[in-house]
Structure 1
Amino acid sequence: MQIIQSLSEISGRYRALFVDLWGCVHDGVHPFPGAVEALKAYRATGGKVVLVTNSPRPRDGVAEQIAGIGVPADAYDAIATSGDSARLAMYQGAVGTRVWHMGYADESDDGFFTPPAILDDPLAIERVPLERAEGIVCTGPADPYADPSEMRPQFLAAKTRGLKLLCANPDIVVDRGGRREWCAGAYAQLYTEMGGESLYFGKPHPPIYDLARRRLAAIADVGDASILAIGDGPQTDAAGAMGEDLDLLFISGGLGAEETGTAIGGSPDPARLERYLAETGVAPTYVIGTLR
Protein backbone atom coordinates (compact mmCIF):
# COMPACT_ATOMS: atom_id res chain seq x y z
CA MET A 1 0.00 0.00 0.00
CA GLN A 2 1.24 3.48 -0.93
CA ILE A 3 -0.06 6.79 0.47
CA ILE A 4 -0.10 9.38 -2.30
CA GLN A 5 -0.75 13.12 -2.42
CA SER A 6 -2.30 13.44 -5.89
CA LEU A 7 -3.92 11.26 -8.52
CA SER A 8 -1.33 12.38 -11.06
CA GLU A 9 1.38 10.43 -9.19
CA ILE A 10 -0.11 7.13 -10.37
CA SER A 11 -2.67 7.92 -13.07
CA GLY A 12 -0.21 7.29 -15.91
CA ARG A 13 -0.31 3.57 -15.04
CA TYR A 14 -4.02 3.32 -15.93
CA ARG A 15 -6.13 3.93 -19.01
CA ALA A 16 -9.46 4.18 -17.18
CA LEU A 17 -10.91 5.01 -13.78
CA PHE A 18 -14.02 3.59 -12.09
CA VAL A 19 -14.82 6.46 -9.73
CA ASP A 20 -17.30 6.51 -6.86
CA LEU A 21 -19.26 9.75 -6.59
CA TRP A 22 -20.60 10.40 -3.09
CA GLY A 23 -17.73 10.83 -0.64
CA CYS A 24 -15.13 11.03 -3.39
CA VAL A 25 -16.25 13.66 -5.91
CA HIS A 26 -18.97 15.41 -3.89
CA ASP A 27 -20.68 15.39 -0.49
CA GLY A 28 -24.24 15.55 -1.80
CA VAL A 29 -24.20 19.36 -1.69
CA HIS A 30 -20.90 20.53 -3.23
CA PRO A 31 -17.98 19.02 -5.17
CA PHE A 32 -14.82 18.41 -3.15
CA PRO A 33 -12.02 20.91 -3.83
CA GLY A 34 -9.61 19.41 -6.34
CA ALA A 35 -11.69 16.34 -7.26
CA VAL A 36 -13.24 17.74 -10.42
CA GLU A 37 -9.91 19.24 -11.48
CA ALA A 38 -8.14 15.91 -10.95
CA LEU A 39 -10.62 14.08 -13.18
CA LYS A 40 -10.42 16.75 -15.87
CA ALA A 41 -6.62 16.59 -15.83
CA TYR A 42 -6.72 12.80 -16.16
CA ARG A 43 -9.10 12.98 -19.12
CA ALA A 44 -6.83 15.57 -20.75
CA THR A 45 -4.13 12.87 -20.93
CA GLY A 46 -6.51 10.53 -22.79
CA GLY A 47 -7.74 8.57 -19.78
CA LYS A 48 -11.39 7.52 -19.53
CA VAL A 49 -13.52 8.19 -16.44
CA VAL A 50 -16.56 6.04 -15.65
CA LEU A 51 -18.53 7.20 -12.62
CA VAL A 52 -19.69 4.04 -10.81
CA THR A 53 -22.28 4.97 -8.25
CA ASN A 54 -24.73 3.25 -5.94
CA SER A 55 -27.31 5.91 -6.70
CA PRO A 56 -30.77 4.41 -7.31
CA ARG A 57 -31.28 6.93 -10.13
CA PRO A 58 -30.78 6.03 -13.81
CA ARG A 59 -27.65 7.56 -15.34
CA ASP A 60 -29.48 10.52 -16.91
CA GLY A 61 -30.88 11.41 -13.50
CA VAL A 62 -27.42 11.20 -11.93
CA ALA A 63 -25.94 13.40 -14.67
CA GLU A 64 -28.61 16.02 -14.01
CA GLN A 65 -28.17 15.77 -10.24
CA ILE A 66 -24.39 16.18 -10.23
CA ALA A 67 -24.50 19.01 -12.77
CA GLY A 68 -26.78 20.82 -10.34
CA ILE A 69 -24.19 20.66 -7.56
CA GLY A 70 -21.24 21.64 -9.72
CA VAL A 71 -19.81 18.46 -11.26
CA PRO A 72 -19.55 19.26 -15.00
CA ALA A 73 -19.98 16.82 -17.86
CA ASP A 74 -16.37 17.27 -18.98
CA ALA A 75 -15.14 15.62 -15.77
CA TYR A 76 -16.25 12.14 -16.89
CA ASP A 77 -17.02 9.99 -19.92
CA ALA A 78 -19.78 7.64 -18.76
CA ILE A 79 -21.94 6.74 -15.77
CA ALA A 80 -22.96 3.33 -14.40
CA THR A 81 -25.54 3.33 -11.60
CA SER A 82 -26.95 0.67 -9.34
CA GLY A 83 -30.34 2.15 -10.23
CA ASP A 84 -29.90 1.16 -13.87
CA SER A 85 -28.89 -2.39 -12.91
CA ALA A 86 -31.76 -2.74 -10.45
CA ARG A 87 -34.32 -1.20 -12.81
CA LEU A 88 -33.38 -3.65 -15.57
CA ALA A 89 -33.85 -6.57 -13.17
CA MET A 90 -37.18 -5.19 -11.93
CA TYR A 91 -38.61 -4.89 -15.44
CA GLN A 92 -37.55 -8.47 -16.08
CA GLY A 93 -39.60 -9.67 -13.11
CA ALA A 94 -37.00 -10.08 -10.34
CA VAL A 95 -39.58 -9.29 -7.63
CA GLY A 96 -42.84 -9.72 -9.51
CA THR A 97 -45.02 -7.15 -11.25
CA ARG A 98 -46.89 -5.70 -8.25
CA VAL A 99 -44.34 -3.98 -6.01
CA TRP A 100 -44.35 -2.04 -2.77
CA HIS A 101 -41.99 0.90 -3.27
CA MET A 102 -39.86 2.26 -0.43
CA GLY A 103 -38.36 5.61 -1.38
CA TYR A 104 -37.52 9.09 -0.15
CA ALA A 105 -40.56 11.15 0.83
CA ASP A 106 -39.63 13.89 -1.67
CA GLU A 107 -38.57 11.48 -4.40
CA SER A 108 -40.00 12.02 -7.86
CA ASP A 109 -38.90 8.59 -9.18
CA ASP A 110 -36.17 10.15 -11.36
CA GLY A 111 -37.00 7.69 -14.11
CA PHE A 112 -36.62 4.53 -12.02
CA PHE A 113 -40.14 3.41 -12.94
CA THR A 114 -39.62 4.12 -16.64
CA PRO A 115 -38.94 0.91 -18.60
CA PRO A 116 -35.32 0.64 -19.86
CA ALA A 117 -35.00 1.28 -23.59
CA ILE A 118 -32.76 -1.77 -24.04
CA LEU A 119 -35.61 -4.15 -23.14
CA ASP A 120 -37.82 -5.14 -26.07
CA ASP A 121 -40.67 -6.44 -23.91
CA PRO A 122 -40.49 -5.06 -20.35
CA LEU A 123 -43.06 -6.24 -17.86
CA ALA A 124 -45.75 -3.84 -16.68
CA ILE A 125 -44.82 -2.83 -13.12
CA GLU A 126 -47.54 -1.61 -10.75
CA ARG A 127 -46.85 0.09 -7.42
CA VAL A 128 -49.26 -1.17 -4.78
CA PRO A 129 -49.64 -1.22 -0.95
CA LEU A 130 -47.61 -3.82 0.91
CA GLU A 131 -50.58 -6.11 1.49
CA ARG A 132 -51.05 -6.50 -2.29
CA ALA A 133 -47.40 -6.65 -3.27
CA GLU A 134 -45.49 -9.55 -4.82
CA GLY A 135 -42.17 -7.94 -3.94
CA ILE A 136 -40.45 -4.87 -2.48
CA VAL A 137 -38.44 -2.25 -4.35
CA CYS A 138 -36.28 -0.10 -2.06
CA THR A 139 -34.64 2.98 -3.60
CA GLY A 140 -34.16 4.61 -0.20
CA PRO A 141 -35.86 5.36 3.12
CA ALA A 142 -38.85 7.70 3.42
CA ASP A 143 -36.92 9.46 6.18
CA PRO A 144 -33.13 9.13 5.87
CA TYR A 145 -32.66 10.05 9.54
CA ALA A 146 -35.12 7.53 11.01
CA ASP A 147 -33.69 4.33 12.45
CA PRO A 148 -34.20 1.43 9.99
CA SER A 149 -35.52 -0.72 12.84
CA GLU A 150 -38.79 1.23 12.59
CA MET A 151 -39.55 -0.91 9.52
CA ARG A 152 -39.52 -4.19 11.45
CA PRO A 153 -43.33 -4.64 11.52
CA GLN A 154 -43.67 -4.19 7.76
CA PHE A 155 -40.63 -6.36 7.09
CA LEU A 156 -41.95 -9.13 9.33
CA ALA A 157 -45.20 -9.17 7.35
CA ALA A 158 -43.27 -9.19 4.06
CA LYS A 159 -40.87 -11.92 5.16
CA THR A 160 -43.76 -14.10 6.35
CA ARG A 161 -45.21 -13.90 2.83
CA GLY A 162 -41.86 -14.69 1.23
CA LEU A 163 -41.47 -11.35 -0.55
CA LYS A 164 -38.06 -10.52 -2.05
CA LEU A 165 -36.58 -7.06 -1.58
CA LEU A 166 -34.83 -5.44 -4.55
CA CYS A 167 -32.21 -3.00 -3.22
CA ALA A 168 -31.37 -0.23 -5.70
CA ASN A 169 -28.61 1.25 -3.51
CA PRO A 170 -26.46 -1.08 -1.35
CA ASP A 171 -24.86 1.84 0.53
CA ILE A 172 -25.56 1.68 4.26
CA VAL A 173 -24.93 5.38 4.97
CA VAL A 174 -23.74 8.54 3.21
CA ASP A 175 -22.70 11.94 4.53
CA ARG A 176 -24.71 14.77 3.01
CA GLY A 177 -22.96 18.05 3.70
CA GLY A 178 -21.54 16.64 6.94
CA ARG A 179 -24.76 15.00 8.18
CA ARG A 180 -24.99 11.19 8.04
CA GLU A 181 -28.02 9.60 6.37
CA TRP A 182 -29.30 6.03 6.09
CA CYS A 183 -29.49 4.50 2.61
CA ALA A 184 -31.42 1.63 1.05
CA GLY A 185 -28.65 -0.82 1.91
CA ALA A 186 -29.37 -0.44 5.62
CA TYR A 187 -32.95 -1.58 5.05
CA ALA A 188 -31.92 -4.49 2.83
CA GLN A 189 -29.42 -5.52 5.49
CA LEU A 190 -32.13 -5.45 8.17
CA TYR A 191 -34.51 -7.45 5.97
CA THR A 192 -31.84 -10.08 5.41
CA GLU A 193 -31.04 -10.24 9.13
CA MET A 194 -34.75 -10.85 9.78
CA GLY A 195 -34.71 -13.82 7.42
CA GLY A 196 -35.93 -12.13 4.25
CA GLU A 197 -34.23 -12.29 0.85
CA SER A 198 -32.59 -9.13 -0.50
CA LEU A 199 -31.34 -8.72 -4.07
CA TYR A 200 -28.45 -6.30 -4.64
CA PHE A 201 -27.32 -4.66 -7.89
CA GLY A 202 -24.78 -2.01 -6.86
CA LYS A 203 -21.28 -2.14 -5.39
CA PRO A 204 -19.82 -4.51 -4.22
CA HIS A 205 -21.94 -6.89 -6.32
CA PRO A 206 -20.99 -7.96 -9.87
CA PRO A 207 -23.94 -6.53 -11.89
CA ILE A 208 -22.81 -2.91 -11.59
CA TYR A 209 -19.24 -3.77 -12.56
CA ASP A 210 -20.53 -5.64 -15.61
CA LEU A 211 -22.50 -2.51 -16.51
CA ALA A 212 -19.46 -0.27 -15.92
CA ARG A 213 -17.33 -2.44 -18.20
CA ARG A 214 -20.00 -2.27 -20.93
CA ARG A 215 -20.14 1.52 -20.62
CA LEU A 216 -16.34 1.67 -20.84
CA ALA A 217 -16.22 -0.75 -23.81
CA ALA A 218 -18.53 1.58 -25.73
CA ILE A 219 -15.80 4.26 -25.72
CA ALA A 220 -12.49 2.38 -25.38
CA ASP A 221 -10.99 -1.10 -25.31
CA VAL A 222 -9.48 -1.31 -21.81
CA GLY A 223 -8.59 -4.48 -19.89
CA ASP A 224 -9.03 -4.85 -16.14
CA ALA A 225 -5.29 -4.50 -15.48
CA SER A 226 -5.51 -0.93 -16.80
CA ILE A 227 -8.51 0.10 -14.69
CA LEU A 228 -8.14 1.84 -11.32
CA ALA A 229 -11.13 1.84 -8.96
CA ILE A 230 -11.50 4.84 -6.65
CA GLY A 231 -13.79 4.89 -3.61
CA ASP A 232 -14.24 5.51 0.11
CA GLY A 233 -16.68 2.80 1.20
CA PRO A 234 -15.07 -0.28 2.80
CA GLN A 235 -18.12 -2.51 2.29
CA THR A 236 -19.00 -1.23 -1.18
CA ASP A 237 -16.23 0.46 -3.19
CA ALA A 238 -13.31 -1.39 -1.62
CA ALA A 239 -14.98 -4.79 -1.36
CA GLY A 240 -16.20 -4.47 -4.95
CA ALA A 241 -12.81 -3.53 -6.36
CA MET A 242 -11.12 -6.33 -4.44
CA GLY A 243 -13.75 -8.82 -5.57
CA GLU A 244 -13.31 -7.77 -9.20
CA ASP A 245 -9.50 -7.90 -8.86
CA LEU A 246 -9.10 -4.21 -9.73
CA ASP A 247 -6.41 -1.96 -8.32
CA LEU A 248 -7.90 0.35 -5.67
CA LEU A 249 -7.23 3.95 -4.69
CA PHE A 250 -8.92 4.25 -1.29
CA ILE A 251 -10.16 7.69 -0.20
CA SER A 252 -9.49 7.85 3.54
CA GLY A 253 -11.19 11.23 3.98
CA GLY A 254 -14.67 9.93 3.12
CA LEU A 255 -16.67 7.62 5.37
CA GLY A 256 -13.52 6.75 7.36
CA ALA A 257 -12.23 10.30 7.84
CA GLU A 258 -12.56 10.30 11.63
CA GLU A 259 -11.19 6.80 12.12
CA THR A 260 -8.18 7.41 9.87
CA GLY A 261 -7.45 10.89 11.21
CA THR A 262 -7.82 12.47 7.77
CA ALA A 263 -8.40 16.22 8.00
CA ILE A 264 -10.04 18.13 5.14
CA GLY A 265 -7.47 18.45 2.38
CA GLY A 266 -4.92 16.41 4.35
CA SER A 267 -3.54 12.90 4.51
CA PRO A 268 -4.43 10.07 6.90
CA ASP A 269 -2.49 9.35 10.06
CA PRO A 270 -0.47 6.25 9.08
CA ALA A 271 -0.98 4.36 12.35
CA ARG A 272 -4.72 5.06 12.49
CA LEU A 273 -5.04 4.19 8.81
CA GLU A 274 -3.37 0.81 9.37
CA ARG A 275 -5.78 0.01 12.22
CA TYR A 276 -8.77 1.06 10.15
CA LEU A 277 -7.75 -1.02 7.15
CA ALA A 278 -7.15 -4.04 9.38
CA GLU A 279 -10.53 -3.63 11.08
CA THR A 280 -12.44 -3.23 7.81
CA GLY A 281 -10.48 -5.79 5.80
CA VAL A 282 -9.60 -3.27 3.09
CA ALA A 283 -6.39 -3.92 1.16
CA PRO A 284 -5.91 -0.95 -1.19
CA THR A 285 -3.19 -0.49 -3.75
CA TYR A 286 -2.98 3.22 -2.86
CA VAL A 287 -4.51 5.59 -0.31
CA ILE A 288 -5.16 9.31 -0.61
CA GLY A 289 -6.86 11.70 1.82
CA THR A 290 -9.16 13.27 -0.75
CA LEU A 291 -9.31 12.98 -4.52
CA ARG A 292 -7.09 15.70 -5.93
Structure 2
Amino acid sequence: MTSPLPNISGLADLAGHYDAVLSDVWGVVHNGVAAFPSAVDALVQYRKAGGKVVFITNAPRPSGPLIEMLDDLGVTRDAYDAIVSSGDATRVMIGKYTGRAIHHVGPPTEDDALYEGFDVRRTSADKAEAVVVTDLDTDEDTPEMYRQRAKLWLDRKLPMICANPDRVVEHGDKIIYCGGALGDLYAAMGGMVLMAGKPYRPIYQEAFRLAEVAAGKPLEKSRVLAIGDSVRTDATGAAQFGLDLLFVTGSIHAAELDAFGKPDPQAIVDLVAPSGASMAGFLPRLSW
Protein backbone atom coordinates (compact mmCIF):
# COMPACT_ATOMS: atom_id res chain seq x y z
CA MET A 1 0.00 0.00 0.00
CA THR A 2 1.29 3.48 -0.85
CA SER A 3 2.20 5.57 2.18
CA PRO A 4 -0.10 8.59 2.65
CA LEU A 5 2.95 10.63 3.68
CA PRO A 6 6.28 11.40 1.99
CA ASN A 7 8.91 8.83 2.96
CA ILE A 8 11.80 10.79 4.46
CA SER A 9 14.84 9.70 6.44
CA GLY A 10 15.77 13.10 7.87
CA LEU A 11 15.58 16.86 7.56
CA ALA A 12 18.11 16.71 4.73
CA ASP A 13 15.40 15.29 2.48
CA LEU A 14 13.36 18.47 2.95
CA ALA A 15 16.04 21.12 3.43
CA GLY A 16 16.15 22.26 -0.18
CA HIS A 17 12.45 23.10 -0.17
CA TYR A 18 12.57 25.50 2.79
CA ASP A 19 14.53 28.67 3.55
CA ALA A 20 13.72 28.56 7.29
CA VAL A 21 12.23 26.37 9.97
CA LEU A 22 10.22 27.33 13.02
CA SER A 23 11.05 24.51 15.41
CA ASP A 24 9.40 23.48 18.62
CA VAL A 25 11.92 22.90 21.40
CA TRP A 26 10.72 20.65 24.23
CA GLY A 27 10.02 17.20 22.78
CA VAL A 28 11.84 17.98 19.53
CA VAL A 29 15.25 19.34 20.54
CA HIS A 30 15.37 18.16 24.18
CA ASN A 31 13.27 16.22 26.68
CA GLY A 32 13.66 18.51 29.68
CA VAL A 33 16.68 16.56 30.92
CA ALA A 34 19.10 16.53 27.98
CA ALA A 35 19.31 17.52 24.33
CA PHE A 36 18.59 15.00 21.58
CA PRO A 37 21.99 14.93 19.80
CA SER A 38 20.48 13.98 16.43
CA ALA A 39 18.08 16.93 16.57
CA VAL A 40 20.81 19.42 17.46
CA ASP A 41 22.99 18.06 14.69
CA ALA A 42 20.12 18.28 12.18
CA LEU A 43 19.57 21.96 12.90
CA VAL A 44 23.30 22.72 12.84
CA GLN A 45 23.60 21.00 9.45
CA TYR A 46 20.52 22.80 8.15
CA ARG A 47 21.99 26.17 9.10
CA LYS A 48 25.34 25.23 7.53
CA ALA A 49 23.41 24.58 4.31
CA GLY A 50 22.02 28.12 4.47
CA GLY A 51 18.73 27.59 6.28
CA LYS A 52 17.57 29.72 9.19
CA VAL A 53 16.20 28.31 12.45
CA VAL A 54 13.89 30.04 14.91
CA PHE A 55 12.88 28.19 18.05
CA ILE A 56 9.21 28.69 18.87
CA THR A 57 8.36 27.36 22.30
CA ASN A 58 5.55 27.35 24.81
CA ALA A 59 8.04 27.63 27.66
CA PRO A 60 6.53 30.07 30.18
CA ARG A 61 9.73 32.08 30.57
CA PRO A 62 11.24 34.92 28.54
CA SER A 63 13.70 33.87 25.87
CA GLY A 64 16.79 35.19 27.71
CA PRO A 65 16.74 32.64 30.55
CA LEU A 66 15.72 29.94 28.06
CA ILE A 67 18.95 30.38 26.12
CA GLU A 68 20.91 29.69 29.31
CA MET A 69 18.75 26.61 29.97
CA LEU A 70 19.39 25.34 26.45
CA ASP A 71 23.13 25.80 27.00
CA ASP A 72 22.91 23.66 30.13
CA LEU A 73 20.95 20.94 28.30
CA GLY A 74 23.51 20.74 25.51
CA VAL A 75 21.62 22.60 22.79
CA THR A 76 24.46 24.53 21.15
CA ARG A 77 23.87 28.07 19.98
CA ASP A 78 24.91 27.22 16.44
CA ALA A 79 21.70 25.19 16.16
CA TYR A 80 19.44 28.25 16.00
CA ASP A 81 19.30 31.89 14.97
CA ALA A 82 16.66 33.18 17.38
CA ILE A 83 14.06 32.10 19.90
CA VAL A 84 10.59 33.30 20.83
CA SER A 85 8.68 31.91 23.79
CA SER A 86 5.18 31.88 25.15
CA GLY A 87 6.72 33.72 28.09
CA ASP A 88 7.68 36.60 25.79
CA ALA A 89 4.11 36.84 24.52
CA THR A 90 2.64 36.42 28.00
CA ARG A 91 4.63 39.35 29.39
CA VAL A 92 2.52 41.64 27.21
CA MET A 93 -0.59 40.37 29.04
CA ILE A 94 1.00 40.60 32.48
CA GLY A 95 2.12 44.16 31.78
CA LYS A 96 -1.51 45.25 31.86
CA TYR A 97 -1.56 44.39 35.57
CA THR A 98 1.32 46.67 36.56
CA GLY A 99 0.60 48.09 40.00
CA ARG A 100 -2.01 45.42 40.66
CA ALA A 101 -2.19 42.01 42.33
CA ILE A 102 -2.02 38.61 40.63
CA HIS A 103 -2.03 35.04 41.92
CA HIS A 104 0.79 32.86 40.58
CA VAL A 105 0.42 29.11 39.98
CA GLY A 106 3.58 27.16 39.16
CA PRO A 107 7.09 26.76 40.56
CA PRO A 108 7.47 29.68 43.00
CA THR A 109 10.79 31.12 41.86
CA GLU A 110 11.61 29.39 38.57
CA ASP A 111 9.43 31.82 36.63
CA ASP A 112 10.53 35.05 38.30
CA ALA A 113 11.89 36.41 35.02
CA LEU A 114 8.34 36.50 33.69
CA TYR A 115 7.64 39.46 36.00
CA GLU A 116 10.90 41.38 35.72
CA GLY A 117 10.35 45.09 35.17
CA PHE A 118 6.69 44.96 36.21
CA ASP A 119 5.34 46.33 39.48
CA VAL A 120 3.10 43.30 39.92
CA ARG A 121 2.28 41.98 43.38
CA ARG A 122 1.94 38.22 43.79
CA THR A 123 -0.76 37.48 46.35
CA SER A 124 -3.20 34.81 47.43
CA ALA A 125 -6.13 34.16 45.11
CA ASP A 126 -8.65 35.88 47.40
CA LYS A 127 -6.82 39.20 46.91
CA ALA A 128 -5.78 38.89 43.26
CA GLU A 129 -7.23 40.40 40.09
CA ALA A 130 -5.96 37.62 37.81
CA VAL A 131 -4.37 34.17 37.94
CA VAL A 132 -1.10 33.59 36.07
CA VAL A 133 -0.35 29.92 35.40
CA THR A 134 3.10 28.87 34.23
CA ASP A 135 2.83 25.18 35.10
CA LEU A 136 1.39 23.00 37.81
CA ASP A 137 3.16 23.45 41.13
CA THR A 138 4.99 20.10 40.91
CA ASP A 139 5.62 17.51 38.20
CA GLU A 140 3.54 14.99 40.14
CA ASP A 141 0.39 17.15 40.18
CA THR A 142 -2.69 16.52 38.04
CA PRO A 143 -5.20 19.19 36.95
CA GLU A 144 -7.98 17.60 38.97
CA MET A 145 -6.04 18.37 42.15
CA TYR A 146 -6.68 22.08 41.44
CA ARG A 147 -10.47 21.91 41.05
CA GLN A 148 -11.23 23.28 44.52
CA ARG A 149 -8.79 26.16 44.05
CA ALA A 150 -10.26 26.85 40.63
CA LYS A 151 -13.74 27.17 42.16
CA LEU A 152 -12.48 30.15 44.17
CA TRP A 153 -11.01 31.74 41.03
CA LEU A 154 -14.28 31.20 39.23
CA ASP A 155 -16.36 32.58 42.10
CA ARG A 156 -14.21 35.73 41.99
CA LYS A 157 -14.43 35.86 38.16
CA LEU A 158 -10.64 35.94 37.86
CA PRO A 159 -9.22 35.71 34.34
CA MET A 160 -6.49 33.11 33.90
CA ILE A 161 -3.37 34.07 31.94
CA CYS A 162 -1.90 30.73 30.88
CA ALA A 163 1.78 31.18 30.05
CA ASN A 164 2.17 27.61 28.78
CA PRO A 165 -0.63 26.31 26.51
CA ASP A 166 0.91 22.79 26.38
CA ARG A 167 -1.24 20.13 28.04
CA VAL A 168 1.54 17.60 28.54
CA VAL A 169 5.25 17.37 27.81
CA GLU A 170 7.93 14.70 27.72
CA HIS A 171 10.26 14.93 30.73
CA GLY A 172 12.98 12.31 30.60
CA ASP A 173 11.07 9.05 30.33
CA LYS A 174 7.82 10.46 31.77
CA ILE A 175 4.88 12.48 30.45
CA ILE A 176 3.87 15.28 32.83
CA TYR A 177 1.04 17.80 32.86
CA CYS A 178 1.64 21.44 31.90
CA GLY A 179 -0.19 24.72 32.39
CA GLY A 180 -2.45 24.17 29.40
CA ALA A 181 -4.09 21.22 31.14
CA LEU A 182 -5.05 23.50 34.03
CA GLY A 183 -6.29 26.07 31.51
CA ASP A 184 -8.52 23.39 29.99
CA LEU A 185 -9.96 22.56 33.42
CA TYR A 186 -10.70 26.21 34.19
CA ALA A 187 -12.27 26.81 30.78
CA ALA A 188 -14.48 23.72 31.20
CA MET A 189 -15.64 25.13 34.54
CA GLY A 190 -16.61 28.37 32.80
CA GLY A 191 -13.54 30.48 33.54
CA MET A 192 -11.91 32.95 31.16
CA VAL A 193 -8.54 31.69 29.89
CA LEU A 194 -6.08 33.86 27.92
CA MET A 195 -3.20 32.27 26.03
CA ALA A 196 -0.54 33.79 23.78
CA GLY A 197 1.71 30.88 22.86
CA LYS A 198 1.22 28.15 20.26
CA PRO A 199 -1.13 27.58 18.48
CA TYR A 200 -2.09 31.25 18.59
CA ARG A 201 -1.10 33.66 15.85
CA PRO A 202 0.94 36.28 17.79
CA ILE A 203 3.81 33.93 18.60
CA TYR A 204 3.97 32.73 14.98
CA GLN A 205 4.01 36.28 13.67
CA GLU A 206 6.98 37.09 15.88
CA ALA A 207 8.81 33.87 14.98
CA PHE A 208 8.27 34.54 11.27
CA ARG A 209 9.55 38.09 11.71
CA LEU A 210 12.69 36.79 13.41
CA ALA A 211 13.21 34.29 10.58
CA GLU A 212 13.04 37.12 8.05
CA VAL A 213 15.54 39.13 10.10
CA ALA A 214 17.89 36.15 10.16
CA ALA A 215 17.46 35.62 6.42
CA GLY A 216 17.88 39.30 5.67
CA LYS A 217 14.95 39.20 3.26
CA PRO A 218 11.18 38.62 3.10
CA LEU A 219 10.17 34.97 3.22
CA GLU A 220 7.30 33.13 1.59
CA LYS A 221 5.27 30.96 3.94
CA SER A 222 5.50 28.14 1.42
CA ARG A 223 9.28 28.19 2.02
CA VAL A 224 9.05 27.98 5.82
CA LEU A 225 8.66 24.65 7.63
CA ALA A 226 7.21 24.14 11.11
CA ILE A 227 8.62 21.27 13.17
CA GLY A 228 6.75 19.98 16.20
CA ASP A 229 5.53 17.03 18.25
CA SER A 230 2.09 18.19 19.41
CA VAL A 231 -1.11 18.06 17.37
CA ARG A 232 -2.86 20.55 19.62
CA THR A 233 -0.18 23.24 19.51
CA ASP A 234 2.38 22.61 16.76
CA ALA A 235 0.17 21.07 14.09
CA THR A 236 -2.77 23.40 14.73
CA GLY A 237 -0.51 26.45 14.87
CA ALA A 238 1.24 25.53 11.63
CA ALA A 239 -2.09 24.98 9.89
CA GLN A 240 -3.57 28.25 11.07
CA PHE A 241 -0.47 30.20 10.04
CA GLY A 242 -0.19 28.45 6.68
CA LEU A 243 3.04 26.47 7.15
CA ASP A 244 3.92 22.88 6.24
CA LEU A 245 4.64 20.59 9.18
CA LEU A 246 7.35 18.06 9.90
CA PHE A 247 5.77 15.95 12.63
CA VAL A 248 7.96 14.38 15.32
CA THR A 249 6.15 11.26 16.52
CA GLY A 250 8.52 10.01 19.22
CA SER A 251 7.56 12.39 22.03
CA ILE A 252 4.13 12.82 23.63
CA HIS A 253 2.42 10.65 20.98
CA ALA A 254 5.13 7.96 20.92
CA ALA A 255 3.14 5.17 22.59
CA GLU A 256 -0.07 5.55 20.59
CA LEU A 257 1.83 5.76 17.29
CA ASP A 258 4.41 3.06 18.06
CA ALA A 259 6.92 5.69 16.97
CA PHE A 260 10.03 3.58 17.54
CA GLY A 261 8.52 0.30 16.37
CA LYS A 262 6.43 -0.05 13.23
CA PRO A 263 4.42 3.17 12.96
CA ASP A 264 1.41 3.17 10.66
CA PRO A 265 1.55 6.28 8.40
CA GLN A 266 -2.23 6.26 8.10
CA ALA A 267 -2.58 6.37 11.89
CA ILE A 268 -0.28 9.42 11.92
CA VAL A 269 -2.35 11.08 9.21
CA ASP A 270 -5.55 10.36 11.16
CA LEU A 271 -4.08 11.77 14.37
CA VAL A 272 -2.93 15.02 12.77
CA ALA A 273 -5.88 15.46 10.39
CA PRO A 274 -8.18 17.38 12.79
CA SER A 275 -5.57 20.17 12.94
CA GLY A 276 -5.73 20.74 9.19
CA ALA A 277 -1.93 20.69 8.97
CA SER A 278 -0.20 19.88 5.69
CA MET A 279 2.49 17.36 6.58
CA ALA A 280 5.81 17.35 4.77
CA GLY A 281 6.64 14.10 6.53
CA PHE A 282 7.26 12.53 9.92
CA LEU A 283 10.21 11.29 11.96
CA PRO A 284 10.40 9.56 15.34
CA ARG A 285 13.18 11.98 16.30
CA LEU A 286 14.44 14.97 14.38
CA SER A 287 17.63 14.01 12.53
CA TRP A 288 19.60 15.15 9.52
Identify whether the pair has TM-score above 0.5, normalized to the shorter chain.
yes
The answer (yes or no) to whether the contact 1:259–1:273 under 8 Å persists in 2 is: no
1:50 equivalent to 2:54? Answer yes
Q: How big is each residue's C-alpha offset from its partner over 1:57-88, in whole Å with a ceiling of 9 and x where there is no partner?
A: 11011111111010011110000100000012
Q: Name the residue aligned to 1:255.
A: 252
Contact 1:99 1:135 survives alignment (8 Å): yes
Query: Measured at CA, do residues 259 and 30 of structure 1 come closer, stay the same or move farther in structure 2, by a change above 3 Å?
Result: same
Return closer, same or farther for 1:49/1:246 CA change in 2, 3 Å cut-off. Answer: same
Report the equivalent of 1:288: 283
Give CA-to-partner distance per residue, 1:245-287, whole Å, 9 cap, x none: 1011111112111111111xx7733344344345776552321
Residue 189 of structure 2: aligned partner? 194
Partner of residue 72 from structure 1, selected from 73, 76, 90: 76
TM-score normalised by the chain length of structure 1: 0.90
Q: Tell me, what secondary structure is at the counterpart of 1:23?
A: coil
Q: Is the 8 A contact 1:80 1:208 kept in 2?
A: yes
For the Cα contact (< 8 Å) 1:27–1:175, is it kept in 2? yes
Amino acid at match of 1:48: K
Match of 1:31 in 2: 35
Normalising by structure 2, what TM-score? Answer: 0.92
What does residue 243 of structure 1 align with?
A: 240
1:172-206 deviations in Å (ceiling 9; x for gaps): 00110011111000111100000000000111111
The equivalent residue for 2:136 is 141
Match of 2:106 among 95, 99, 103: 103
- What percent identity do the matched residue pairs reach? 38
Query: How far did 1:46 drift?
Result: 1.4
Aligned equivalents of 1:112 and 1:128: distance in 2? 16
Where structure 2 has 5 or more consecutive residues not aligned to the other structure, the ranges are none
Q: Which amino acid aligns with 1:6?
A: G
Of the candidates 212, 215, 233, which is equivalent to residue 210 of structure 2? 215
How has the CA–CA distance of structure 1 residues 85 and 227 changed in structure 2, closer, same or farther, with 3 Å as cutoff? same
Q: Kindly report the root-mean-square deviation, in angstroms, between the aligned alpha carbons of the 2 structures.
A: 1.9
Query: What letter corresponds to residue 67 of structure 2 in structure 1?
Result: A
CA distance in 2, matches of 1:127, 1:201: 21
Unpaired runs of 5+ residues, structure 1, are: 116-122
- Which amino acid in the other structure matches residue 86 of structure 2? S
- Secondary structure in 2 matching 1:159: helix
- Kindly indicate whether residue 156 of structure 2 is the aligned counterpart of residue 156 of structure 1: no
Question: Which of 210, 220, 224 is the equivalent residue of 2:221?
Answer: 224
**Pair 1:84-2:88 in alignment:** yes
Aligned residue type for 1:109: D
Is the contact made by 2:236 and 2:275 (CA closer than 8 Å) also made in structure 1? no
Do the aligned residues in 2 keep the contact of 1:96 with 1:135 (CA within 8 Å)? no
Higher helix share: 2
Alignment of 1:60 with 2:64, yes or no, is yes
Counterpart of 2:72, as a letter, is: G
Preserved CA contact (<8 Å) 1:174 1:182:
yes
Contact 1:5 1:267 survives alignment (8 Å):
no
Describe the shift of the 1:74–1:267 C-alpha distance in structure 2 as closer, same or farther (beyond 3 A). Answer: farther
Give the Cα–Cα distance (whole angstroms) in 1 for the partners of residues 229 and 160 of structure 2. Answer: 26
Q: How far is 1:224 from its partner?
A: 1.5
- Report the residue type matching 1:108 in the other structure: E
**2:185 is the counterpart of 1:182:** no
